[in-house]
Every structure is written in structure tokens, then in C-alpha cells.
Amino acid sequence: MRITTVRYEKTFNLGNYETERKMAEATVEDGECPDYVMSELKAFICGESVDKQNPQYDLKDGKGEVRMTFITSKEWMDTYDAMATKAADLRSYIKQNNYIFNYIKAQATEQDSKLFLDRINQIEERLKA
């Protein structure tokens, strides 16, 4: 099966029994990771993004609060990996940091960084267990 289109939709509570629904849809190009495209859509809808000229990588706790900010993806990945073993609610921790993780994974894939991709795969395998 080949995924050709992804869509992200979120309903925001405005208070006073009012909500606003936002939706974005994108085409997955050849060689592009659908998870990365989905994370880009989520970032667009939720107002998060990584400035590709001056990237800063926020590491969030399971509640979504920024705990640390890093300048390099390597520092972020090292700390993400270490903190994952200590997270009380691992599923929430992974969910809150998924956008940056997928962004770094896409960068490593684009740059064909075998060493970094091996590290990412090791982390993914360990977190699945």
C-alpha cells in the first residue's frame, strides 16, 4: 500500500461553548515519509514549526511543557533518548516530542546520515518494546 495523501484536523476549544475546527491536507511526494508530512501538517495547524535557518529543538515533558531547548539535533536526540527511559508516562512523552523526532529523522534521511539513522532506528525499536 502506498500513501499518497495525508490530512490533519483538530478542533480547538475557544471557551464559552465555542469551538473552531482547522484542517490541512497534503500530497506525499515520491520518497517522502508520510509520518513526516503528517507532522508538518500538525505543526502548521497547531502553530508549531522548526525554523530551518535557525533551528531550535524543544524537548517537552508528557504534559507538553517545554523542559529544554537545544541548538543541535544531536543534543536533542541524546537527551530525548535518556529521558525516555525515565518518563513516567512514556506514551505521552513520545507523543509530545513526535514532531521534532520526525523532523530530525527526515533530515537524517535526506542527508543519508547512516550513523544517525541507525541511532534513530535503535531508539524506535527500544521504545516499541
Q: Do 88 and 128 sit in the same domain of this protein?
A: yes
Same domain flag for 24 and 86: no
- Judge if 61 and 122 occupy the same domain: yes
Same domain for 119 and 105: yes
Q: Which domain holds residue 44?
A: 1-49
| pLDDT tens string 14-27 | 888 889 898 989 99
Q: Are residues 62 and 21 part of one domain? A: no
**Do 70 and 32 fall within a single domain?**
no
Reading the block at residue 64, the C-alpha cell is 507538553
59 and 107 both lie in a single domain: yes
Task: Judge if pTM exceeds 0.85.
Answer: no
Q: What does the pLDDT read at residue 49? A: 58
What pLDDT is recorded for position 15?
A: 85
pLDDT attached to residue 37 = 81
Backbone angles phi, psi at 33, to 5 degrees: -85, 120
pLDDT beneath 50: ranges in the chain = none
Q: In sequence order, which ranges of 5-113 are alpha helices (DSSP H)?
A: 34-46, 73-84, 90-110
Of the CA atoms within 13 Å of residue 63, those in its CB half-sphere come to: 3
Query: Do 63 and 123 share a domain, yes or no?
Result: yes
Q: What is the pLDDT of residue 40?
A: 78
On whether both 63 and 77 belong to a single domain, the answer is: yes
Res 5: pLDDT: 92
Q: Please indicate, yes or no, whether residues 56 and 109 belong to a single structural domain of this protein.
A: yes
pLDDT at 48: 62
Domain total of the chain:
2
